[in-house]
Amino acid sequence: MQEFKAKAKTTQKMTRDGVVETNQATGEQTRKSQRETDDFSGDAAENMTGKALNRAATERQRHKAKKRRRKAKKDAKQAAKPPEQPQDGGAGDGKEQQGNEPEAPPVDPQEGADGEEKPPDGEDEE
C-alpha cells in the first residue's frame, strides 16, 4: 500500500525582526526578510527609558513653572485692580442711596396728571 504525505502548511507572520515563516507541521521557523533584528535589551533599552523619564520630568517642571507664572500674573492683576463697588441693580432693601432721587409715585389711569378724574371712554365732556 502506498503512503501519502501531506503538504507542509506554512504561515507567515510579520514581527519586529521582519517576516518569519513557520511550518505548522514541524514548528520550524525561518526568517524570510533580510531586515536586521532589533535588540531592545541592555544599555540601549536603559538609555531609551532614561531619556523618556528625563523628558517627562522636564515637561512636569515646565508645567509647574507655567502654572506658577499664571497664578502670579493673576494675583498681580487683582492687586492692581481697585476694589469693586456694588452696583445697585434696582433691587435692594428699600433704602435709597444718597444722591439718587426718589421715583415719582405711579399715576392712576383714571386720573389725569393734575389729579382730576377723567370721564370713561365714549362719554364727552361738556
pLDDT tens readout for residues 74-100: 999 988 887 777 666 555 555 555 556
Do residues 62 and 69 touch, judged by C-beta distance below 8 A? no
Quick one: pLDDT at residue 73?
Answer: 94
For position 69, what pLDDT does the model report? 96
DSSP letter for 29, please: E
* C-beta atoms surrounding 38 within 10 Å: 11
Report d(CA 68, CA 62) in Å as an integer: 10
User: Which is it for strands 18-23 and 10-15: parallel, antiparallel or unpaired?
Assistant: antiparallel
- Which residue stretches of the chain have pLDDT < 50? none
Q: Which residues make beta-bridge pairs with 11?
A: 22
What are the backbone dihedrals phi and psi of residue 2, each rounded to the nearest 5 degrees, phi first? -95, 135
Sequence ranges of the domains in the chain: 9-38, 39-77
For 12, the enclosing helix (H) or strand (E) is strand 10-15
Question: What pLDDT, on a 0 to 100 scale, did the predictor assign at position 64?
Answer: 96
The DSSP 8-state label assigned to residue 19 in this structure reads E
- Cell digits of residue 47: 538609555
Its pTM stands at 0.31
